[in-house]
Amino acid sequence: MSRRFFGTDGIRGAVGEYPVTADFMLKLGWSAGRVFASEERATKVLIGKDTRVSGYMFESALEAGLVAAGANVLLLGPMPTPAVAMLTRSQKASAGIVISASHNPYTDNGIKFFNADGKKLSDEVEEEIEEILSQPMETVPSPELGKANRMVDASGRYIEFCKSSFPHSLSLRGLKLVLDCAHGATYQIAPQVFAELGAEVIAIGAEPDGYNINEGVGSTSPAALQARVLSEQADAGIAFDGDGDRVQCVAADGTVIDGDELLFIIANDLVRQNRAPEGVVGTLMSNLGLEQALREKGVDLVRAKVGDRFVLEEMAQRGWQLGGEASGHIICGEQTTTGDGIIAALQVMAAVVRSGETLLTLKSGLHKYPQTLLNVTVSPDFLLAECAAALDESRRVEEVLSGRGRLVLRPSGTEPLIRVMIEGTDGSENLMLAERIAQTIRDAH
């Protein structure tokens, strides 16, 4: 069965446009409640959200649908996506739901699910939810209706969980850190975590109003963080995205440290502790320089399809504990079950403290190849696999790059975009070749 609503990271789109509507979310809550129902125990589902104004509407709709299906609901309020995964596990809940569109603007929203183990749903479960969506909605008898409550100490529980991932023998005392919370779900939690571990914390992007999430701040817009790190003469900056599952860092001189470099820093710190990981899972977009730098440390890199769920699947299949994407989805499997910006940042800062070195020095063993990434806007019904002109041009470009670079051409899993990535030794040639493919797609489209 082909999924109609679920993409690579749940359901996402413009608020008010089907399926990101209140009536659909009501039915989705009911369908999920039916699927997660268990004969052994009462069904309990957690709901968290980021700071978008539309979160109120969708929270209420999902709550009503779940209760109508007989499920009990625990409302967490604004909470990072990985916090929902952690609390779903610790509360022995049937599932967790996150209302968020991650790094997208406030005019978008979406839904992500976690199973009882705090992991992304399998394709089979998502298909089961979609199958029930096509059925008429029927409310359970009144004695079987669920109830809804609010978890008042959700933030405190997650703060302590994050702090527990940082080595007890280390402290962040003496470090001045600028935290960019993207006016999103980490705005209360991240500053408290790092301050309680001893850092001097300066927070930006920590005044959400429902409309400013990701607006000129956060991991996808690092300029504000770079400027503040320089003006404060801080030791480092840390930027999260709107729902807190991504992280990028900024060194003291304003240099952006991306997900590939953060993965290298964490892996190399493990090597230095004689705890070298057997391997690291990256994606098709992971820089060739990361693969070479890890190999020099005796660590393998395996590439999964783009998307943290595919990284997680590959990690589980191989029994590896570290993986991530250049975008900043970093999965530290020894600490948690999903991408977690705060947890990953803490492992990076532990490497800084343990080594006594700066972020710039710690990443110096990784020499990245120039990459060009172009996003080509297409209509939602555009199928790259059926665009012969683009595929032919791609083959010609691969012949040009043979032996000294690589091409990744793929549709976005969350937006109507075709992503064209070329990696090679010559940055200007990369751009020229990427533009050739992008223009072919535009002409064909």
423: number of Cβ within 10 Å: 24
Answer yes or no: are the C-beta atoms of 304 and 283 closer than 8 Å: yes
Residue 41 amino acid letter: R
Angle 124-128-131 (CA atoms, 0-180°, nearest 5)?
135
d(CA 339, CA 312): 9
- Judged by DSSP in three states, 139 sits in coil
Sign of torsion, CA 112 118 119 121? negative
d(CA 325, CA 445): 29
Answer yes or no: are the C-beta atoms of 338 and 119 closer than 8 Å: yes
In the beta sheet, which residues pair with residue 331?
323
Per DSSP, 162 falls in state: H
**Could you confirm whether 428 is annotated as catalytic?**
no
d(CA 303, CA 313): 11
Tokens 């850092």 found at: 199
Q: For residue 13, with 0-12 CB atoms within 10 Å meaning exposed, 13-18 middle and 19 or more buried, which class applies?
A: buried
Residue 270 amino acid letter: L
- Between the alpha carbon of residue 258 and those of residues 116, 240, 247, 382, the distances in Å are 31, 12, 8, 30
Q: Which two tokens stand for residue 134?
A: 């096509």
Q: Which two tokens stand for residue 38?
A: 């268990």
Catalytic residue among 54, 100, 102, 165: 102
Q: E-assigned strands of 17-155?
A: 44-49, 72-78, 95-99, 108-115, 148-150
Answer yes or no: are the C-beta atoms of 336 and 315 closer than 8 Å: no
Q: β-strand 176-180 against 236-240: which pairing, if any? A: parallel
Residue 8: closest CA among 117, 141, 112, 128: 112
Tokens 């929203």 found at: 109
Q: Which residues are catalytic?
A: 102
